[in-house]
Structure 1
Amino acid sequence: MALYVYAIAAEDHPLDIDDLSGVGSEPAPVRGIASGPLCAVVSDISEKIRPKRRDLSIHQEVQEHLMRGGPVLPLQFGYTAADESTVEQVLLKNADGYLANLERLGGCAEYHVRASQDEEELLRQILRETPEASELNERIRAGDRDPQLPMALGQLIAAQVQERQDALASGLVAALVPFAREHTVRQASGADFLNFSLLVPDDRQEEFRTAEANLARQIGDGVEFRLSGPLPPYSFVE
């Protein structure tokens, strides 16, 4: 029977998964498969697993449950193996790399930071603080029909938005990175101008959360901070 794989841990990880059920329409018990110095946490499946809300939630719950017992290498949602033999072979083949990763990630959790900015508030700031933009805007509002004005104003505003958000993102990253052992910055999407993850040691997590809360207050109106964590260190598994 095919297996859904949640995570990899050291063979001496306590697991404590006897009461957990896995993903799928017919959830099977979550269990461990030991191979050499490692253990994979799996459950039997009889169907193709799709990213439904229930299964995404169970995947996350298993990961977070395992984290409480020690370091794990969390797999992204949807990883499956043909059978136990396949899992055992993978664990043996990659044992050195997995063990090194477990050592590196031990005593840490991932925090994910996103930030977005209210577009209307940002536009008001730009028009208030940028004389050239303010002048162009006043000319358009006064009825100047020069067809180049809207394009010039749009380009100026777009450049200002990019410049201001890049500077703000850099400042936020610089302020939070000292609390992390590692970090990774991703391309922001949608309304977000910042999207990055930090690997924060357990003994610095309270400091980190305090610093993040202080930053959110200092930035003021118009910027929304969204902090997720502590999470399994998905972003830092190599």
Structure 2
Amino acid sequence: MTAGGVYVYAIIPTGRPLPPKAVGVGAPPAPLRLLAEGPVAAVVSDAPPQLRARRRDLMAHQELLVRLADTCPVLPMRFGVVAPDEETVRGELTGARKNHLAALRHLCDGVEINLKALPSQDALAAVVAEEKQVRRLRDEVRRRPGYEANVRLGEAVAAALTRRAAEAGQKILHALTPLAREVAPGPEVQGCALNVSFLVDRHAGDHFRTEAQKLADSHRGHVELRIAGPLPCYSFVTPRRVRTPAAGA
């Protein structure tokens, strides 16, 4: 083990092998190993010195998690989790064993799909046609051109685009929620009207993406929908989640 500590990628059930030829972060890539404590194990490697979020290392981290998730349930760690030594990792595995096992059971055969809803940049004509306030300000600019009038018009257009994207995003969220086990709101992203992740059965992932794309196409005049996944289930490791509503709720 290097002086840089132990880099932790994920927690998986004990007895599951590492993917063939898989390697970790660093240059050269660090060999992977398993630290098992009872029914759970941590996937680790030596932490490289001066670890930074380089594209090469970010991709190595993500690729390993995706390959692990193809064969077993995974509790993924965010990039950059480093423990001081193996004893610390083993202590975490032992101390939180029940929570880890419950989370692994919950995430079994599940994948995460993330949706981000952004204002449609092709909707300006629709905004002018459908938004009374925008039309009024546009007409004012035409009658009396000036800096302040242009600023007010620009602000009104931006606000209308954002509001329309948020409204469409909520409709899409409502339509997709029954197709997921759980839904988790993501952090605020600048310029993004909605950022949300879905926990979806692995076998239903393609169907979910197809339905999401259909909804994106039907709301194209209001929102640009970005769909990412299947991903490791980052958003569903902790218990702070929005539960999928019961049918008919």
TM-score after normalising by structure 2: 0.85
217-226 vs 177-186, greater mean Cα deviation: 217-226
Deviation at 1:143, TM superposition (A): 2.7
CA contact (8 A) 1:18 1:30 kept: no
Per-residue deviation, residues 129-175 of structure 1 (Å, max 9, x unmatched): 12343133213202377x98556645644543343222111111111
How many angstroms apart in 1 are the aligned matches of 2:187 and 2:25?
30
Match of 2:128 in 1: 127
Letter in 1 for 2:11: I
1:37-116 map, 5 Å: 37-116=39-118
Per-residue deviation, residues 201-236 of structure 1 (Å, max 9, x unmatched): 123223212201211221235743221111110111
How many angstroms apart in 2 are the aligned matches of 1:159 and 1:225?
18
Match of 1:171 in 2: 171
Match of 2:19 in 1: 17
How many angstroms apart in 2 are the aligned matches of 1:54 and 1:200?
28
CA contact (8 A) 1:183 1:196 kept: yes
Aligned residues: 235
Deviation at 1:77, TM superposition (A): 0.3
Deviation at 1:124, TM superposition (A): 2.5
Any idea what SS the aligned residue of 1:113 has? strand
Deviation at 1:179, TM superposition (A): 1.0
Match of 1:136 in 2: 137
- Over the matched positions of the two proteins, sequence identity in percent amounts to 36
How many angstroms apart in 1 are the aligned matches of 2:180 and 2:227?
14
How many angstroms apart in 2 are the aligned matches of 1:40 and 1:118?
43
CA contact (8 A) 1:4 1:43 kept: yes
How many angstroms apart in 1 are the aligned matches of 2:207 and 2:124?
34
How many angstroms apart in 2 are the aligned matches of 1:232 and 1:183?
14
Deviation at 1:62, TM superposition (A): 0.9
CA contact (8 A) 1:17 1:30 kept: no
CA contact (8 A) 1:117 1:223 kept: yes
Report the RMSD for the aligned CA atoms in angstroms: 2.3
Letter in 1 for 2:67: H
Any idea what SS the aligned residue of 1:192 has? coil
How many angstroms apart in 2 are the aligned matches of 1:60 and 1:5?
12
Unaligned runs of 5+ in 2: 239-249
Deviation at 1:18, TM superposition (A): 4.8
Unaligned runs of 5+ in 1: none
Letter in 1 for 2:103: N
Are residues 1:181 and 2:181 paired? yes
How many angstroms apart in 1 are the aligned matches of 2:153 and 2:47?
57
How many angstroms apart in 2 are the aligned matches of 1:62 and 1:144?
57
Are residues 1:220 and 2:220 paired? yes
Q: 1:136 to 1:96 in 2, by over 3 A?
A: same
CA contact (8 A) 2:123 2:221 kept: no
How many angstroms apart in 2 are the aligned matches of 1:73 and 1:7?
5
Match of 2:245 in 1: none
Letter in 1 for 2:6: L
Any idea what SS the aligned residue of 1:138 has? helix
How many angstroms apart in 2 are the aligned matches of 1:174 and 1:129?
24
Q: 1:111 to 1:125 in 2, by over 3 A?
A: same
How many angstroms apart in 2 are the aligned matches of 1:84 and 1:155?
54
Q: 1:202 to 1:137 in 2, by over 3 A?
A: same
Match of 1:8 in 2: 11
Deviation at 1:28, TM superposition (A): 2.3
Match of 1:229 in 2: 229
Are residues 1:36 and 2:38 paired? yes
CA contact (8 A) 1:5 1:80 kept: yes
Any idea what SS the aligned residue of 2:88 has? helix
CA contact (8 A) 2:24 2:60 kept: yes
TM-score after normalising by structure 1: 0.88
